[in-house]
Amino acid sequence: DVKVTQSSRYLVKRTGEKVFLECVQDMDHENMFWYRQDPGLGLRLIYFSYDVKMKEKGDIPEGYSVSREKKERFSLILESASTNQTSMYLCASRTSGPNEQFFGPGTRLTVL
């Protein structure tokens, strides 16, 4: 059974804190993605990675950075959390080629 796991389901942080969101997949997928989901805006791509140590900006990378040191792990970092980063964060992975992405359960982050 394929699996994408995220380190936390719910997280509450304070403004200015550094936040790490971890994602691990066990499918040996090359590509990994971070999205945020907000009402009325759907899923917006923050960053993605198509290989270890490679990263590319998505549509809304400002305020975020990522790290991919190992193939199975893709981390999203909020350097200094702000209230407008309160959102549902979804990690996904897929192999190369035209096929579906597999999503983790999501992390609901609240920044106070």
φ/ψ of 87, rounded to 5, equals -175, 175
Question: Pattern of binders to other proteins over 49-88, x per CB under 8 A?
Answer: -x-----x-xx-----------------------------
> Cβ contacts of residue 82 below 8 Å, gap of 6+?
15, 63, 111
Q: Which of 33, 34, 64, 74 binds other proteins (CB under 8 A)?
A: 33
Q: Which amino acid is at 83?
A: T
Q: Please state the closest distance from residue 11 (CB atom) to other proteins, in A.
A: 14
Strands 56-57 and 31-38: unpaired
Binding interface with other proteins (CB under 8 A): 4, 9, 31, 33, 35, 40-45, 48, 50, 56, 58-59, 90, 92, 94, 96-106
